[in-house]
Structure 1
Amino acid sequence: MTTPQTLPQKITKSYVDRLSTPDTGQAFIRDTELKGFAVRITSSGTKSFILEKRIDGKVKRLTLGRYPELTVEQARREAHKLLGHIATGRNPVAEKKQEALQGTTLQQAFDDFVKTRKNLKERTLYDYRRLMKVAFADWQEKAMTGISKDMISKRHNKIGSERGEAYANLAMRFLRALFNFAIAQYEDGSGKSILHENPVMRLTQTRAWYRIDRRQTVIKPHQLASWYQAVISLKHDPISSQSALVADYLLFLLFTGLRRQEAATLKWSAIDLNDRSFTLTDTKNRQPLTLPLTDFIYELLEKRKAVANSDYVFAGDGKSGYLIEPRCQVQKVIQLSGVSFTLHDLRRTFITIAESLDISAYALKRLVNHKMSNDVTAGYIVSDVERLRKPMEQVSAQLLQYFCTNGI
């Protein structure tokens, strides 16, 4: 067997066949007849042909292909062709990169999007992945450059008819964000984006977005008593031991106005029963929030703490460790009370009652952790936990009063 060496040789089939592998790394044997043409062999035994040539002031190494899939004669012809391209001012390296970028699929772009957006919340990432699997399952391996405006319009209509107009808008907002990312991320050798425009903008230009009225549903005051009675009945459910925890979860949402994920992921380490307060660090607007515990919620948590066996206040049986949306129990409350509601309706109910009590806008925004970045006056107001205790108790007292309606 011939030992790989750095001295130039005439590269032939018989010579390549006789090459032995280096102990480590890789070895290069350069051709004596065609400058820049060479064969590379690695310690794993892989043999491939390369071309080395100065392009735009720098020596570039282009891989022509592996041996024996590519013969010596074929590799030599390919090297001649590339040298001709380079002689006329073309850049094969940039062209190869451009070709690869042009073929970037929707799935590849999504993977890069997730890697780049390191601070995506777990729930947001879950929703995005679901959209990829549900709304764009047949587009995942499609090149982004091949997704046209007409395709966008047809897919928007298709999703709207099959899964609802709100879901169709949601899917297209996600796709719009993915295309905006790709426009900024993938550039050719001259720094120009491989995508000339965002095709989802067709929906804006033609005013084709579905008009979705924002939900305004709340549990009305006269419904709260029967709703409360139905929730309490969960505590005596003989079939599911989880129902009592769900009952506390529903009451906690109503009495705090928290978003469902904020409450579900709340840990005991974030609750200070001595100070009668709790702190949220992973909020929707990424601003930490410390809120007071009202007497009602304090007693609820005290009883739950006595039987707790998890780091999460509202523990679940799944991999996450915390309670996932309890559809069965919610449906049972709806059936028993005759009050149709969603978990987010509880937050809207809290806000509606707080507004009816003439709680200041600044205190209310702080209670529900709405951003006040555009309000200059709000920037001078410090709403600490003690200043929020009174308005929180006011809402709690009003809720308890509604619960007592009709003798309950």
Structure 2
Amino acid sequence: MPHIKLSAPELKLIPLPESGQVFYWDSSDRGFGVKATPTGLFFVVQRRLKTNDGPGKTIRKVVGRHPEMRLEKARQLKTEIYAEIGKGIDPHARETEHIHTLEEVYAAYRQSRTLRASTLKLYDGAMTRCFDDWRNLPITEISKSMIEARHKEISNRNGKRGQGKAHADQAMRFIRGLFNYASDSFPYFENRRNPVQKLRWNGDNKRESHISEVDLPVWFDAVSKLRSQMIGDYFLICILTGLRRTEAATLKWSYIDFTKRLLTIPSDKTKNGRRHCLPITPLIIEILQRRKQAIKASKLQQISNDYVFPSNGSTGHLVESKASVTKVIEISGVKFMPHDLRRTFATAAQRLKIDKVSISKLLNHVSGDVTVRYLVTDPEDLRPAMEAISDYFNHKFNSKNFAKSVEFR
């Protein structure tokens, strides 16, 4: 069994086997490691059980799944479980005495992972709207037929729990995750088939929309006519950087190095927990500089925070742009959502024949290709691609230098 010094970067480099399982033990933390399987990585604790007659059988306990559970959280739980085993307490024996209810599985699932507030809100909503009457059911009593009936009920908008097909699939992905967690965590559930496994899904309901080439000029013209310069700049930053809408809305000046012309979002502020370093082009810099000047000249100067798109609301940053989205659609006739700007960025990169690895790096996507995970890309290697994308949008917006020529009301 290989021994390595477990760290967040090292975890990303551990390959998944095609079959079976491989254990990697931490060389600096005895009894702590990860189990690599074809379906993912799992943090584990291992120690001999203390008995009155001396060391007993070896206990191996799964703590949680990576990357849903952060390394720091796994180490914390490892310390607690390792101490219990050292006192002669078998965590598996304790668990087999009790069959967990759906509510208890969900509570344990939440404790084992570091979840964003928005994700917790989504999961809590699914429990309340879709599975509230199952909360006190032992998880082993939830059958395949119950899952199929509930999926159909949620899919029917006219039903008691009706929310539509997309919401039904989303709810089932949530509860499927709870069953997978139970299978990985509780011995009594290890050999049970996930009742969601054979579900007939409604289909792929993911949005694939983006702003087409022919619509870019009228879309930009509508953005330039918005009453709020800040919202207009926010939309432009989204489409020119490919940032997720929340990453752009919570962008801070401290993330931007104007000397090196780099934008770096910390790992705790990205969706996948990976630091995102992106070259910024002259067009992006001009928009950011315009933001600085606008803040100094407005009442927002009184807001003492570091946000590029500040607000006097409780969060301190831009949160809602629905009214402006509606206004742009009304003026231009081009339907879009903020996340469509990220897809438009990716589509432009593809149209420019930028290689897929570079596009993945620009979007800060986690690749399933083990080889790609080993590739370390210098941000400067991505600068030609970023400049090509900026030039593409500059041309499509039909202006030699749109960042200077826009006159917001």
TM range (shorter): 0.5 to 0.7
Larger radius of gyration: 1
- Please list the CA deviations of residues 95-127 of structure 1 after superposition, one character each: whole Å capped at 9, or x if unmatched: 99766x23x33222211111111x323332332
1:185 offset after TM fit, Å?
3.0
In the alignment, structure 1 residue 260 sits paired with structure 2 residue 245: yes
Instruction: Compute the TM-score of the two structures, normalised by the length of structure 2.
Output: 0.65
In the alignment, structure 1 residue 280 sits paired with structure 2 residue 265: yes
Aligned residue identity for 1:111: A
Q: Following superposition of structure 1 onto structure 2, how do residues 74-153 of structure 1 map, counting pairs within 5 Å?
A: 101-102=98-99, 104-117=100-113, 119-153=114-148
The residue aligned with 1:26 is none
- Please list the CA deviations of residues 175-232 of structure 1 after superposition, one character each: whole Å capped at 9, or x if unmatched: 0111221233344xxxx339844222241xxxx1112254332111111111111112
Instruction: From the superposition, tell whether residues 297 and 98 of structure 1 become closer, same or farther in structure 2 (CA, over 3 Å).
Output: same
Report the secondary structure of 2:122's partner residue.
helix
The residue aligned with 1:353 is 348
1:377 offset after TM fit, Å?
6.7
Distance 1:317 1:159 in 2: 39
Instruction: From the superposition, tell whether residues 372 and 97 of structure 1 become closer, same or farther in structure 2 (CA, over 3 Å).
Output: closer
In the alignment, structure 1 residue 222 sits paired with structure 2 residue 218: no
The residue aligned with 2:396 is 402
- Please list the CA deviations of residues 237-287 of structure 1 after superposition, one character each: whole Å capped at 9, or x if unmatched: 2xxxxx332221111110001111222222221111222211022333332
Distance 2:94 2:349 in 1: 62
Higher RCO by CA contacts (8 Å cutoff, separation 6 or greater):
2
Say what the alpha-carbon RMSD is for the aligned residues. 2.9
In the alignment, structure 1 residue 248 sits paired with structure 2 residue 240: no
Instruction: From the superposition, tell whether residues 251 and 95 of structure 1 become closer, same or farther in structure 2 (CA, over 3 Å).
Output: closer
Which of the numbers 244, 254, 267 marks the counterpart of 1:269?
A: 254
Distance 1:95 1:324 in 2: 48
1:317 offset after TM fit, Å?
5.1
Aligned residue identity for 1:296: L
In the alignment, structure 1 residue 159 sits paired with structure 2 residue 146: no
Which of the numbers 269, 286, 297 marks the counterpart of 1:299?
A: 286
In the alignment, structure 1 residue 368 sits paired with structure 2 residue 363: yes
- Please list the CA deviations of residues 312-344 of structure 1 after superposition, one character each: whole Å capped at 9, or x if unmatched: 222345544333342221111111110001222
Report the secondary structure of 1:291's partner residue.
strand
Instruction: Compute the TM-score of the two structures, normalised by the length of structure 1.
Output: 0.66
- Is there any run of 5+ residues in structure 1 with no aligned partner, and where? 1-55, 59-93, 238-242
1:158 offset after TM fit, Å?
1.3
Partners of 2:357 and 2:372 within 8 A in 1: no
The residue aligned with 1:211 is 203
The residue aligned with 1:389 is 383
Partners of 1:145 and 1:195 within 8 A in 2: no
Partners of 2:166 and 2:205 within 8 A in 1: no
- Please list the CA deviations of residues 111-146 of structure 1 after superposition, one character each: whole Å capped at 9, or x if unmatched: 1111111x3233323322222223223333333233
- Is there any run of 5+ residues in structure 2 with no aligned partner, and where? 1-50, 54-91, 158-162, 296-300
